[in-house]
Structure 1
Amino acid sequence: MLKIGICGIGKMGSEITKRLLESNQTVALWNRTKNKIKELTEMGAKATRDLKELINVSEIIIIIMGDDNALDYVYKSPEGLKSMNLDGKIIIEMSTTSIDKIKSLEKVVNLSNGEFIECPVGGSTQPAREGKLLGLVAGNYDTFKKVEDLLKLICRRYEYLGDVGKGSAMKLAINLPLMIYWQSLGEALSITTNNGIDFDKSLDILMDSSGAAKIAHLKTKTISDGNNNRPNLKSSFSVSSSLKDMKLMIEEMEKLKKEFYVIKGATNYVQEAVEEGYSEQDASLLSVYISKKLNSQLQ
């Protein structure tokens, strides 16, 4: 039985923890805010006082944080990993961040005598709970083999890609078409509704076409409810998270000194949606936001 630590009990960290507990693993938890831990401790997880205790009681530590500020605290603060001896510990970094950032985190762990693997994942909360994530693994190959049994518990598929940074590059590439899709769906719905076709009927037909993204079929009710002013407040991936990832994509493209017009244009829509109160809504509701915005402009 593995001794696993989870650092970061957000939406994904919580569901990964539940999956591991249901797989009869020993799981310890640490989160900067303690109110998110209660349900998981009732399921059998051990809450730790601080990050140092989490490291001490764990062999493999999964870190999955929401932004770079949280990552800097975990890795680089006086209470963070840089101040610890990580000999015999393996860090699996699952956060979505930039390629430069992930490489800097690897250096912190290596300087503290630990082993480091990045494994950003494709999939949201439901696949996390069911052990059906897509793992994008990069780092030392021998370290990867040491954590492979753990990856089998939480991933339907995992791919070893090479050196650290390649996992983050693949994750941004996976997310980019999806970020654009919700917005193109909104524009498509604006065409139909402005020509007198019912929103829900339009959505249903679009979902039955070759143009529908794989995930879209899972979001039909969420989109319909959002259009009818009944938004589901429980999002699996929020608009604000989308904006964060899109800014990372643009950052990588600027490093390449290339112009990527599609993602830059799409980011403007998302920034507007955040400013108009969609920040914590499910990302699929960008389609509703854009459809309504365009319709109001055409009236």
Structure 2
Amino acid sequence: MKIGVCGTGRMGSAIAQRLMSVGHEIGVWNRNPAKMKPLVDAGARLFASPAQLVEGCEVIIVMLLNDAATEAVYRAPDGILKAKLAGKLIVDMSTIRPDTMKSNGSSVLQQGGAFVECPVGGSTAPAKEGKLLGLVGGSKADVARALPIMEQMCRRFEHVGDLGAGSMMKLAVNLPLLVYWQALGEALTICKPLNLPADRLIDILTDTSGAPTAMKGRGPVIAKVLGGAPLGETAFGLNAAKKDLACAVQFASSLHAELPVTASALACYEEAEAAGLGDADATAISTRWTQRKGKS
């Protein structure tokens, strides 16, 4: 099948690699051409615009960083909505506000295309292995059409409602983990007087009821950084984590609800990003907090 991948950052590239590995013919477009080169070198076809990508492929996977990026890519003069969408299937896997997802999806549907949202849980490693958690929104007919492709990308997918529902669920899924990374930094801070080796401390904290599953994979990396090693590879960027928390707070506000713990964590991520850690892994929020000087 000819599948276009619109947005080849960390996750978009990983998804493209997965789809290539299972035999699909992949086309790519990205605002930064340099990010497409490894995929093109591996056999992907380069397209000059989102509109051309849509017209040259049967299915288009959209994986963009934030609401502003999706608005620009859908509505630019050479954007997705300028293509001939009749008969095309758009699967948007971006993590954005539910209202933005609904707006983009409705515009595609109005022009005769099919649209499914499928924001995902998981980072680059499970993306390359087809082991993401898909949180799906859309009509039953469109979801059924997207099912064979989602099965190749996801270990599990849940159709949770109409357009916007997947985005709501994705914000809820990300929120506790991202708050946890900040909470872990605070826990590590009050453990400093113990002078325990970093790997032992992380091992103890990982083997508790409060630790998320992600600690099994990320805990050893955090321990190494605490021991003086460089930050290492980014699986899920701190800037993307900050964006997700901001989306959650904004969406809650539209429901006339408050997220005080999330808002506090968001401020810590914003501070870390301002300190130059935006491109680092989100777990850098934990190690940074142990080095931060508190107010006197």
What TM-score comes out, normalization by structure 1 length? 0.94
Please identify, of 174-183 and 202-211, the stretch whose mean Cα deviation from structure 2 is larger: 202-211
Q: Partners in 1 of 2:63 and 2:202 — Cα distance?
A: 34
Deviations 1:208-263 (A, max 9, x none): 22222101111123212322342234201111111111110000111121222111
SS at match of 2:234: coil
1:154-169 aligned at under 5 Å gives the runs 154-169=153-168
Give the aligned partner of residue 216 of structure 1: 215
CA shift at 1:103, angstroms?
Answer: 0.9
1:153-192 aligned at under 5 Å gives the runs 153-192=152-191
Does 2:55 align with 1:18? no
CA shift at 1:287, angstroms?
Answer: 0.9
Alpha-carbon contact 1:8-1:64 (below 8 Å) kept: yes
Give the aligned partner of residue 118 of structure 1: 117
Give the aligned partner of residue 65 of structure 1: 64
Q: Partners in 2 of 1:276 and 1:50 — Cα distance?
A: 34
When the two chains are superposed, the root-mean-square deviation of aligned CA atoms in Å is 1.6
Give the aligned partner of residue 297 of structure 1: 294
Give the aligned partner of residue 251 of structure 1: 250
SS at match of 2:214: helix
CA shift at 1:51, angstroms?
Answer: 2.1
CA shift at 1:75, angstroms?
Answer: 0.8
Alpha-carbon contact 2:198-2:224 (below 8 Å) kept: no
Query: What letter is aligned with 1:200?
Result: D
Give the aligned partner of residue 146 of structure 2: 147
SS at match of 1:230: coil
What TM-score comes out, normalization by structure 2 length? 0.95
Q: Partners in 1 of 2:258 and 2:131 — Cα distance?
A: 35
Query: What letter is aligned with 2:171?
Result: L
Give the aligned partner of residue 47 of structure 2: 48
Q: Partners in 2 of 1:114 and 1:298 — Cα distance?
A: 55
Deviations 1:80-131 (A, max 9, x none): 1222220010100110000110111012212322111100001000000000
Q: Partners in 1 of 2:83 and 2:44 — Cα distance?
A: 23
Q: Partners in 1 of 2:103 and 2:263 — Cα distance?
A: 26
Q: Partners in 2 of 1:89 and 1:259 — Cα distance?
A: 39
Q: Partners in 1 of 2:5 and 2:24 — Cα distance?
A: 12
Q: Partners in 2 of 1:272 and 1:51 — Cα distance?
A: 34
Q: Partners in 2 of 1:18 and 1:197 — Cα distance?
A: 41
Query: What letter is aligned with 1:90?
Result: L
Give the aligned partner of residue 73 of structure 2: 74
Q: Partners in 2 of 1:192 and 1:252 — Cα distance?
A: 35
Query: What letter is aligned with 1:163?
Result: D
Alpha-carbon contact 2:199-2:224 (below 8 Å) kept: no
CA shift at 1:39, angstroms?
Answer: 1.6
SS at match of 2:26: strand
Q: Partners in 1 of 2:198 and 2:132 — Cα distance?
A: 32
Give the aligned partner of residue 194 of structure 1: 193
Cα separation, partners in 2 of 1:202 and 1:75, compared to 1, 3 Å: same
The alignment of Structure 1 onto Structure 2 pairs a total of residues equal to 296
Q: Partners in 1 of 2:188 and 2:198 — Cα distance?
A: 7
Deviations 1:31-60 (A, max 9, x none): 112111222122221112222321122111
Give the aligned partner of residue 273 of structure 1: 272
Does 2:102 align with 1:103? yes
Q: Partners in 2 of 1:257 and 1:50 — Cα distance?
A: 39
Please identify, of 162-171 and 77-86, the stretch whose mean Cα deviation from structure 2 is larger: 77-86
Deviations 1:162-189 (A, max 9, x none): 2001000000000000011111111111
Q: Partners in 2 of 1:51 and 1:253 — Cα distance?
A: 31
Structure 1 unpaired stretches of 5+: none
Cα separation, partners in 2 of 1:92 and 1:10, compared to 1, 3 Å: same
Alpha-carbon contact 2:102-2:164 (below 8 Å) kept: yes
Give the aligned partner of residue 90 of structure 2: 91
SS at match of 1:4: strand
Q: Partners in 2 of 1:42 and 1:213 — Cα distance?
A: 37
